[in-house]
Amino acid sequence: MEQEYDVVVIGGGPGGYVAAIRAAQLGRSVALVEKERPGGVCLNWGCIPTKAMLRSAEVLETVRHAEEYGVKAPEALLDYPAVVARRDGIVRGLTDGIARLLDANGVTVLTGHARFLDAHTVAVHDTVPPPGDENGPGYAAPPADGPPRTTIKGRNIVIATGSRPVAPRIDGGDLPGVITSDGAFGLPEVPRRVVVVGGSAIGAEWAGLLHSFGAEVTVVEIMSTLVPAEDVEIARMLTRAFDKRGIRVLTGHTVTGIRSVLGGLSVDVEAVGGGEAGEVPADVVLFGIGRLPNTEELDLDRAGVAVDVRGYILVDDQLRTDVAHIHAIGDVTGRRQLAHVASHQGLVAAGVICGHEESIDYSVIPAATFTHPEVASVGLTEARAADEGHAVVAARFPFAALGRAHTYGATEGMAKVVADSRTGRVLGMHIIGPGASELIAAPALALTHDATLASVAATIHAHPTLGEATLEATMSALGLPVHTAPRRRRSHRP
């Protein structure tokens, strides 16, 4: 007889395992089907391993500049195998920890690939091990045919199968040495020359990381700045910072083809609009653009679950699909493809399944890009706020005017606040500089609770800290700067 559960979760990434644990905490019987290791892309091939390697790069850069801090150190040398070993050890420890959490909460974990048989029944198939070749860690796949190992029933089902990077569809995109961001984890050594295609968060992080490790890096980005989703001032500052570090940045350019040549690869680039064209030599070409949802092999049609033309599952603000008892969370929903969004969606979906009146608000989602300097933001950009009809006031505070930044040895960057001058409500905060990814949490809380410039300015911040930058930017927006000279505030009125 098929085992029946209150909740069946398909996918054990940052959305799936969180949803499973929360549903179990709320008293439901829960099964989680995961075809590989718990933690999903974020933990195994994304957020955590890249940050582990970025930390190694940060330590390397610090030692290289140790004399600036009055410390004499021997020559800093990179031990790339040791970096990889440390990274993999961290990932193993965290995946093991998630497995223990699932067990401690009474979640039944089934290893295999899930396919719908009907709207309540899921077949669990054995999977084919991933190849693990130079093109990346690979993903376990279901066999082409054959009966399932087992079937289970779910009164409610949560789909959390995530996404995968898009392979390039250009001439030469299948050549050896052309990889996706996942494939970068399989590099046996640091390449001498790398072309990174795409200057958004993933591409920018890999570009900075490989440059710190000694690679000659060129970034090709079709938009006019790196991280084009960020506030334009922040994006321009990061673009200048990359150029200053010696990372070649070709914004407003696209890759038209890749050719194999003696000694490596040649990447054909062209200015947007058919302008200037050229070639960039490379040993590795890393594509950091776009992802596709993992929905094709779920047999969603058997469950009656609708998808859009790209394969993303359609959901409402309570994460319900068009089949009331089936929810979808994370990258497969096509909303914000961020691990923390998937986790929050998992909490909401589990709560809704358990009878709570919950929904998700996408207006306050912090984002961080772990470049050097870091970039983080929450809420509206200055341009977006003006487009939405706000009477915008924007002000900024440079880290160069902050005592803690000087003691830290990192004065590059600024904090920028965007607010509505009529109501005083804070609409967005944008940071580029040391610790930006940590600093953004407080502004996110402020936006969640509709804080005003006055209420933020009235909040005492510890001194000396990097967090004072957001306070000072807020006071400047009020026309009351203390640690910078008065300047005309930028404002827009509808």
CB atoms within 10 A of CB 362: 11
> Strands 216-221, 248-251: parallel, antiparallel or unpaired by DSSP?
parallel
C-alpha distances out from residue 400 to 70, 331, 394, 396, 441, Å: 20, 38, 19, 12, 22
- Read off the tokens for 52: 């582990």
Closest to 313 (Cα-Cα) out of 266, 271, 276, 349: 349
User: Residues 6 or more apart from 387 whose CB is under 8 A from it?
Assistant: none
- Read off the tokens for 134: 């130079």
Provide the CA 198 distance to its chain's centre, in angstroms.
14
- Read off the tokens for 31: 């099964």
Helices and strands, number each (H, E), in the chain:
14, 23
Helix (H, G, I), strand (E, B) or coil at 458: coil
C-alpha distances out from residue 230 to 42, 122, 340, 385, 431, Å: 21, 41, 18, 13, 10
What DSSP character marks residue 307? B
Closest to 325 (Cα-Cα) out of 308, 303, 343: 303
Provide the CA 37 distance to its chain's centre, in angstroms.
19
Closest to 279 (Cα-Cα) out of 261, 303, 301: 261
CA–CA separation, 263 and 268 (whole Å): 16
What DSSP character marks residue 74? P
Is the bond leading into 148 cis (omega within 30 degrees of zero)? Answer: no
Catalytic positions? 463
